[in-house]
Chain A
Amino acid sequence: MSEDINRRKFIEQASCAAVGTASLFSTLLTLRMTAGAASGGGPFAGYKALVCLFLNGGNDSYNMLVPRDTAAHAEYSTVRTSLALPSGSLLPITSTGQDYTDFGIHPNLPILQSLYNAGDAAFVANVGTLVEPTSLGDYNAKAVQLPTGLFSHADEQTHWQTLVPQTRGAGPKGWAGRMAECMSQANSMGSIGMNLSLSGNNILQTGNSSVPYITGPNGVTLLNGYDQASGNAQTIARTNAVDSILSETYKNLYQGTLSTSNRASIDTGIEFNNAVTPLATTEAFPSSQIGGRLEVISKVMQARTTLGMDRQIFFVERGGWDHHSELLQPQVDLFTEVNDAITSFWAEMGHLGLQNDVVLYTISDFGRTLTSNGSGSDHAWGGNHFVIGGDVNGGKIYGEYPVLATGGPLDIGRGRLLPTTSVDAYGSEIASWYGVPNTELETVFPNATNFFNPVSTPNPLGIF
């Protein structure tokens, strides 16, 4: 089998440490082969999957996880003015390890409250992109290296995904892409790559030598009129011509990139279609943007054996969170969508017996200003996130929930909070659970050692 030989050869070349030499791997079909050649078992037994939910635009997460403690809620109400949610409207939870115990979840996220109380969900407070630990004094004196383009959507979205925020742009590639390359022995029987996106191209899943397979919520896209097994002479002629065009070598960089990616799209689509399209979920999913995508993900998980996958990373993006002028009602609508989609997804994971094998987590551009623009809020920095999964040490808020006030110890101006937990720590927890060896965490998170020792302490927060 020439494909197997190619894959084995690829793996020999693509050890985790050697991922800088992207030029060795010039075809996207090869790029998808982040699966290992070593057959069976290996270090990655069983099935595990990550679902990254990207809240594009900057979720105002200090209205997602809110103090209910009387004094803290009063402080919160003072700084947020008309944006403040009344204490009585919040869904109560408690946490150890913070300045106080009483917190509340946004009223339209009841699934988070129930998963949190069942020990299957946790929050991480005031997470943000950092290059190194940064105090307010450091920030004001520019005494440490800071992320480039702070507070800008495009830059901060990129930083969350590359986790090399001292570098502009997507050049460093994404941490899920690097994870796939560090776990090349997973998915030994796999026919598609480890990374699968339901929301188009993204930086997170793009590695130095691997790209995600992209599919949509409406099912697999195939090339119409292309069928190698057709009995129709014209279809055969067309199919042969397509194969011929795509087997040419194109010196022009754009032509070559287009041709190799189209070849991969056609082939992977057929394989994926055969495995996934016939399946149905037990649970009914809402037809929302997130709901439709989590439904497809559930089907792919159901097809994991057919597809030969034992490790998968899924990417779902939902836009609409940039609430400059109107926060309260739009966030109600979006959280309702998140809530209903996750409710179906979690139940479906129960049907598939995968609740302990799945982790769903959020990323977002940044948190938002505590102070108001009138009825919305502006770009800021640190924000709150949630992690769902049977293996999560749930029922707790990790990191340090900050003082919500202007002029506080973390306020860099009008309630923009300096993050106290780096995305590296948050990501390392997730990557370590997923199976990245401790010794490889620094490859996945190049700045990690500025914050913790990933070899001895791969779970610096204790979420898993």
Chain B
Amino acid sequence: MTTLCFGLVIGAATILADPPEITLNGSDAEVSLPDATGGQSFRVLERSEDFSNWEPVARDYGNGWENIFPFTLPVSPTGPGQFLTDAINVDRRFYRVGQSSSNSLTNEHAASRFLQQATFGPTRAMISSFPGVGSLSGFNDPPYTFYQQWIDAEIAKSPTLLRVFWRERSDPSYVQGADPYEVAHNAAHGQQFSYYVGTVANKTPNNEITPTHSKEAIWHHAAMTADDALRQRAAWAISQTFVVSTVGMTQNDIGESWLKYYDIFLRHTFGNFRDIIEEVTYSPLMGYYLSYQGNAKANPSAGTFPDENYAREIMQLFTIGLWLLNQDGTLALDGNGNPVPTYDNDDIFEIAKIFTGLRLETTRTNIEIRGTSNRIDPMRTNIWLHDFTTKTLLDYDGPEGPLTRPTIVAATQDDAGLRQEIGSFLDHLFNHPNTPPFLARNLIQRMTASNPSPNYIKAVADAFTHGHYNGVGTMARGDMSAVFRAILLHPEAREATLSGDTAHGKLREPLIRLLSYARAFEIAPHSDPLENPYGIVAFKNIANETAQEPFKSPSVFNYYLPGFQPTGSILDRNLFAPEFQIHNDVTALSLQNAIRELTLSGINGILGTTKLESNLDLTHEISLAEDTVAGHDALLDHLELMLTPGRLSATNRATLFTAIDTINGDTTEQREDRVEMALQLFGLLPEFNIIQ
């Protein structure tokens, strides 16, 4: 087979004049990558076999050339004279380098863009008070000092804990317990939420927020109003790895149980991953959801075996995933080029034995109990149900082959021995080399990018492994603050030149798109207690509008899979877009209708409720929307800042201008009409729905 490799010059303005040079080296082509030229530009190396379909295989957005998914061809280290190595396995191949320049963002746009990644959405106050936003230079330059300052301040804020919020506003008899988060009722708030005692649901007089709905109402209130915005957003991302759901569960109306579980992620957002998997494992809610509370060792005479549910999912979904990974998230391959499973079903059978002998704690007072089941406290042990035989753990010494596998066995066949076994296995997963890149990819996908490059994944995985990012962190493996710093401060999240990369960014979660409207336009509870007796901003049963609702994932696999590929150009490039799994003919439009309804008539309008009224405060927008060219521009400038910072195309801006310009007159009502028209149309803009 004769292979011809060509470097190309193409007439198009975006194609570099100098073709890349090709050197044949054995069965590989080495493609020279032009050195950096400085300035804000994005460059991409593409290859083709037919001169018409071009595949991006490497890129440079100002930090040197790097490889990208899905091909991940080797690129020599950053510096002058970089080259890409491509195995020659086709008759001929062409290469070309394209370049696109990008406009630099204003500080305000850059801050808003960052807040779209790091929170449930920017507010005017968050943008104007962002560190350094008024500085004349250096705002967007590495190492992104001002963003670091913002993150530092967020981490220092005291967490808004949902269980605390609920306890202060439910059973008046609650007192402070030994657990610091088991706070006392706060008489100043009265009883806002229902609570169970025995079989009685003590409902509030205003039963719009029923026992079933208190947890989601409180979640929404915190998402829209809590001061610790980064923590709330990051905890939501973590919670989508450790899914529990009311779907398919009973006793969904014990609010304290669900809120205590969710608080694991709010308390350890910037703590250590090891603590998260410890608390999740002993959580009675997870014990029920993945059916290992009460799980018993095999009973040969009865013909029963341990339940395998938790053994499987803690590995597949919570820590290591199905396939052995390199630290940059690419698949580790065996000698035949095949991916290597992290475990097989024999391992599951073995590990299921570890998760035997956990059961509910005994009942007590001062917590919400329905009937007698204690679904609040961590599970206790029952050593008679536990399998104390020796268990063989996973081999993770790499694809090269089986080394001696570690085993665990309890030193003593008692409570301590059982806990020691579980602890050893959690350590085993915590220290598994797959855990950092597996978690890194999932959390990056939740926050900033659907298709993070191998370099980005590795930076976040390294932050997990070494406990710091750019020297900041606890230096302990599993430091989540380092993980989130890496996710938000990596150049791949920060560099605006990446807007030239057609694969950069992600579809925002539909729920977050709705919440971001509420936040940007200062939603507040109606002041009349007849309209909103709770004084909180709450959604309930919002899944019809958003296809997504806290505590209501359809299964342990979350609302979408990390590997979802919508048909069309994303699939053609073998890339991923998880959130498109819940974007369809129904949800695409129902979300837009909800945004319209929120704009026009508030939360009661969306939900058809009578006692949850909260409305956007559009005073500022209406003040801008005067019936002049300058007024239209002021309104559009402001909405671009809040919703599409630095992304709004000139054409779409002109379209919006034309639309609001059809409403003539300068009465308050006409100004309101212009604002509402603009807000509805912004919701439909691809530049709003996608963050880059």
Contact = CB atoms under 8 A, between A and B. Distances in A.
A23 B294 contact: no
B497 to A, nearest CB: 14
Nearest to A254: B690
A286 B577 CA distance: 36
B132 to A, nearest CB: 28
Contacts of A27: 568
Given A233-B662, A252-B686, A28 B563 contact: no
A414 B596 contact: no
B663 A234 contact: yes
A213 to B, nearest CB: 6
Interface stretch (B204-212, B296-304, B455-463, B479-487): B296-304
B450 interface: yes
B567 A206 contact: yes
Interface string A397-415: 0000000001000000110
Contact of B345 (A56, A150, A210, A248): A150
B684 A262 contact: yes
A56 B555 contact: yes
A252 B100 CA distance: 13
B569 A256 contact: yes
A260 B584 contact: no
A72 interface: no
Contact of B677 (A78, A238, A414): A238
B572 interface: yes
B379 to A, nearest CB: 14
Nearest to A197: B584
B520 interface: no
A214 interface: yes
Nearest to A173: B567
Interface in A202-218: 206-211, 213-216, 218
B668 interface: no
B151 interface: no
B349 interface: yes
A155 B321 CA distance: 12
A245 B345 CA distance: 51
Interface stretch (A122-130, A220-228, A429-437, A446-454): A220-228
Interface stretch (B168-176, B179-187, B367-375, B500-508): B500-508
A248 B659 contact: no
A391 B684 CA distance: 47
Interface string A358-372: 000000000001011
Contacts of A215: 585-586
Contacts of B288: 325
Contacts of B303: 78-79, 81, 371-372, 406
Nearest to B563: A169
A256 B302 CA distance: 58
B307 A170 contact: no
Interface string B655-692: 11011001100000000010001001100111101101
A374 B296 contact: yes
Interface stretch (B108-116, B386-394, B587-595, B631-639): B587-595
Contacts of A241: 655-656, 658-659, 681
A31 interface: yes
B69 interface: no
A255 B349 contact: no
Interface residues of B, number: 88
Interface string A235-256: 0111011101110101111111
B681 A373 contact: no
Contacts of B656: 241
Given A151-B348, A214-B584, A261-B583, A170 B563 contact: yes
Contact of B305 (A171, A216, A224, A414): A414
Nearest to A22: B572
- Name, among A242, A256, A257, the residue most crowded by chain B CB atoms within 10 Å (CB to CB): A257
Interface string B444-478: 00000010000000000000000000000000000
Given A250-B686, A374-B296, A413 B585 contact: no
B568 A57 contact: no
Interface string A167-184: 011110100000000000
B237 to A, nearest CB: 18
Contact of A240 (B294, B554, B564, B659): B659
Interface in B131-189: none
A149 B556 CA distance: 16
Nearest to B547: A200
B449 to A, nearest CB: 10
Interface stretch (B25-33, B264-272, B308-316): B308-316
B83 to A, nearest CB: 27
- Name, among B303, B499, B574, B658, the residue most crowded by chain A CB atoms within 10 Å (CB to CB): B303
Given A153-B556, A253-B573, A320-B247, 6 more contacts: A221-B593, A262-B589, A319-B248, A322-B309, A374-B294, A406-B303
25 contacts: A23-B572, A27-B568, A151-B345, A152-B316, A154-B561, A169-B563, A201-B582, A209-B567, A216-B586, A221-B585, A224-B592, A238-B677, A250-B686, A252-B505, A253-B502, A254-B577, A255-B687, A255-B689, A261-B588, A264-B585, A319-B248, A372-B302, A372-B303, A374-B296, A376-B291
Interface of A: 22-23, 26-28, 31, 56-57, 78-79, 81-82, 149-155, 168-171, 173, 197, 200-201, 206-211, 213-216, 218, 221-225, 233-234, 236-238, 240-242, 244-246, 248, 250-262, 264-266, 268-269, 319-320, 322, 324-325, 369, 371-374, 376, 378-379, 406, 413-414
